[in-house]
Structure 1
Amino acid sequence: MGKIVTFGEIMLRLATPGYLRFSQTNELTATFGGGEANVAVSLANYGLDAEFVTRLPENDIAAACVKDLHKHGVKTDHIVYGGDRLGIYFLETGAVARASKVIYDRAHSAISEIKPGMIDWEQVLTGADWFHWTGITPAISQGAADVCLEAIQTANRLGIPVSCDLNYRKNLWKYGKKASEVMPDLVAGCDIILGNEEDAEKVFGIKPEGFDVTATAGEVNAAEFESVCTQLMQRFPRARKVIITLRGSINANHNTWGGVLYDGKQLFQSPRYDITHIVDRVGGGDSFMGGLIYGLLTYPQDDQQALNFAVAASCLKHTIYGDYNEVTVKEVENLMKGDGSGRVSR
């Protein structure tokens, strides 16, 4: 298989140990993570040629970040350097009825000050077989949105499939533009669109009738989302497939998890997983996207299999600490076959 390129921001993640609150802890665990980088790590884990493109400052923290990506098999040949700092996010992991909290400290990060022309997308994407971005990137700044559009338009011109995760983050859109103003031009260039039960509504005003995300009680009717898929395809006719992740939230530690894929003719529904003891759900959507890209490339004539791989991969991610989904293809395939017993592998 060929090269997959992802573009976006990677950050230093500082998390409280276990389930401690910010006010309780005297230490924070440092790792790295970010939507598009998480996808690249998943794909590299599955043995694919994955490259992550971003803008980083020239300092020791950024150097440690790049080494971390290399450790996971991700290529970084086209990272550009400049700016003063790497963005940071702080994580407090919730439990039962107490939700997790994320606090961003990413103002004036290196990538937020990126400008069109800083990345030679023709060079980056020549020979690539896939380009992926998320709605987090254009939310960072106008410059990041403009550079993301450059990449999408270059990929379109070169005939490279483009995927996006709508990934709406209300706390990020602070530079004077709304997601509804910026996202349409970018999504119009996408062949594969992924979202969750909120993204399509928050960004485009598209929602399933009678659905309340705050009252799922762990039950999400997959068929309700066919209308969301058809509306997205009508608005963005380039899209060949629309995928919706379905999370039923019973509490912070217990979710149901599944997804649907619509190809314009048929709605495919995944098995539903009952995740009773979540270790870390941050990066769950990214792990789904990484699994989906792998599935669509590996099973090009079998959308059901591709969807099932994505859902199983992201189910396993909920058991792994950190942003990255550090699982193998074999582990995902075993879960797809029904081996979720957790017995010791000897």
Structure 2
Amino acid sequence: MTMKIIAFGEVMMRMMPPNYKKLSQVDTLEFLYTGTGVNVLSGLYQMGHEVYLTTRLPDNIVGQAASAHIRKLGIHDDYVCYGTNHIGIYFLEQGIGNRASQITYLNRLDSSFGKSQISDYDFSCLDGMDALHICGISLALRENLREVAFAFAKEAKKRHIKVIFDCNFRPSLWTGEHDEIKHIYEEMLNLADIVFAGYKDATLLLHKQVDQSLPYDKQLRNILMQMCQDYHIEFIFGTIRKDEELTGYMVTSTKMVMSPKMRLTVFDRVGGGDGFAAGAIDGYLTHMEPQELIHYATASGVLAHTTYGDSPVVSKEEIIDFMKNGKRDIKR
């Protein structure tokens, strides 16, 4: 079943020293183009869906190269607009062993996307779509982007298009009083049908209360079920990562379904959560049964950790094979 999904979000350039080196050790860098929407759409394309990105890129050869890259991922760039000269950049020093990975952002607020306005976008791009994906980072970067994100969500609701919202709450990106930030998130949550969120989103951002004497999984279930009830959310998805194992969960206002624990092998961690999100969205849109859906989404997230780059490039067939057969050294 092929569905049409569009994402509103930024495209960034990722710069990375090769072979787990630190930036100070190299004089050459690898680079690619990435972003939450790009990554989720890339995964959904691999799963057989028709995917589109709406964003604003620099009006120069860097913007053209970014468009070419997302096309290679199977993403339609019909609704990409162009203006100004800059793209957001982040440097990734990949960690290994006991050394954590380090990400440093540059020029994000002054990028072509960061400075885009409602007038840059054509909301007719939503016509005929089945779902719209919005990342919470778009709410944090600038007020003008927040206005665009809300305009897209409201236009999608008018068209009865499913609104998918990834909370992706990053305190370091926000300025202003916490109550104001909470209000902004609550406004978007009230527009969303499908949400990606976790324990910290519910407690630190939304100030939901939980019985600390309960086991963690029961705390998580209760607090996310309450979120579903408060904001009329159909499903909340997320993962628990512990001791190099990943467990996925799916929560409604009445129940929680969890995946089996799955062992992680990490080649490139960035984008692993977007691999899970793509699997969850695919499973939701194609009406998988709950237990199969969350197992499939978690397997998708696990396999996304094994490929280079932020954008998932694992096929639906590979995910299903992994679910059935587990790890195999070689397929002949």
Give TM class, smaller chain: over 0.9
Aligned residue for 2:103, secondary structure, equals strand
Question: Which of 198, 201, 204 matches 2:203?
Answer: 201
* CA deviation map 1:232-279 (0-9, x unaligned): 113212x1111221111x4xxxx211111112222111111121x311
Instruction: Say if 1:168 and 1:202, in contact at 8 Å, map to a contact too.
Output: no
Identity %: 30
Aligned residue for 2:253, secondary structure, equals coil
Question: Which of 215, 225, 233 matches 1:230?
Answer: 225
TM-score scaled by length of structure 2: 0.93
Question: Which of 256, 259, 265 matches 1:267?
Answer: 256
The aligned counterpart of 1:309 is 296
Mapped to 2, the partners of 1:308 and 1:204 lie a distance apart of: 28
The aligned counterpart of 2:109 is 107
The CA deviation at 1:31 is 0.9
* CA deviation map 1:137-163 (0-9, x unaligned): 111111111100000000111111111
Aligned residue for 1:114, secondary structure, equals coil
Aligned residue for 1:51, secondary structure, equals strand
The CA deviation at 1:208 is 5.2
In angstroms, what is the RMSD of aligned CA positions?
Answer: 1.9
The aligned counterpart of 1:332 is 319
Residues 332 and 232 of structure 1: CA distance in aligned 2, closer, same or farther (over 3 Å): same
The aligned counterpart of 1:191 is 193
Residues 18 and 342 of structure 1: CA distance in aligned 2, closer, same or farther (over 3 Å): farther
Instruction: Say if 1:222 and 1:259, in contact at 8 Å, map to a contact too.
Output: no
Aligned residue for 2:293, secondary structure, equals helix
1:247 pairs with 2:241 = yes
* CA deviation map 1:298-322 (0-9, x unaligned): 2x15122221111000100111111
Q: Which residue type is aligned with residue 322 of structure 1?
A: G
The CA deviation at 1:207 is 6.5
Mapped to 2, the partners of 1:197 and 1:236 lie a distance apart of: 16
Q: Which has the larger displacement, 222-231 or 97-106? A: 222-231
Q: Which residue type is aligned with residue 11 of structure 1?
A: M
Instruction: Say if 2:37 and 2:53, in contact at 8 Å, map to a contact too.
Output: yes
The CA deviation at 1:51 is 0.5
* CA deviation map 1:189-213 (0-9, x unaligned): 00011123433333212375449xx
Q: Which residue type is aligned with residue 313 of structure 1?
A: S
Q: Which has the larger displacement, 4-13 or 176-185? A: 176-185
The alignment of Structure 1 onto Structure 2 pairs a total of residues equal to 328
* CA deviation map 1:271-291 (0-9, x unaligned): 11121x311111111111111
Aligned residue for 1:171, secondary structure, equals helix
Residues 65 and 160 of structure 1: CA distance in aligned 2, closer, same or farther (over 3 Å): same
Aligned residue for 2:171, secondary structure, equals coil
The CA deviation at 1:13 is 0.2
Mapped to 2, the partners of 1:133 and 1:88 lie a distance apart of: 20
1:78 pairs with 2:65 = no
* CA deviation map 1:197-232 (0-9, x unaligned): 433333212375449xxxxxxxx9534310121221
Instruction: Say if 1:55 and 1:114, in contact at 8 Å, map to a contact too.
Output: yes
Q: Which residue type is aligned with residue 117 of structure 2?
A: K
Instruction: Say if 1:89 and 1:102, in contact at 8 Å, map to a contact too.
Output: yes
Mapped to 2, the partners of 1:174 and 1:198 lie a distance apart of: 18
Aligned residue for 1:80, secondary structure, equals strand
Aligned residue for 2:226, secondary structure, equals helix
Residues 208 and 17 of structure 1: CA distance in aligned 2, closer, same or farther (over 3 Å): farther
1:342 pairs with 2:331 = no
Mapped to 1, the partners of 2:183 and 2:86 lie a distance apart of: 28
The aligned counterpart of 2:305 is 318
The aligned counterpart of 1:215 is none
The CA deviation at 1:96 is 2.3
The CA deviation at 1:118 is 2.1
Matches within 5 A, 1:1-346: 1-105=2-106, 106-121=108-123, 123-174=124-175, 179-206=181-208, 209-210=211-212, 221-237=216-232, 239-248=233-242, 250=243, 255-275=244-264, 277-298=265-286, 300=287, 302-337=289-324, 339-346=325-332
TM-score scaled by length of structure 1: 0.90
Mapped to 1, the partners of 2:209 and 2:16 lie a distance apart of: 33
Instruction: Say if 2:39 and 2:271, in contact at 8 Å, map to a contact too.
Output: yes
Instruction: Say if 1:14 and 1:29, in contact at 8 Å, map to a contact too.
Output: yes
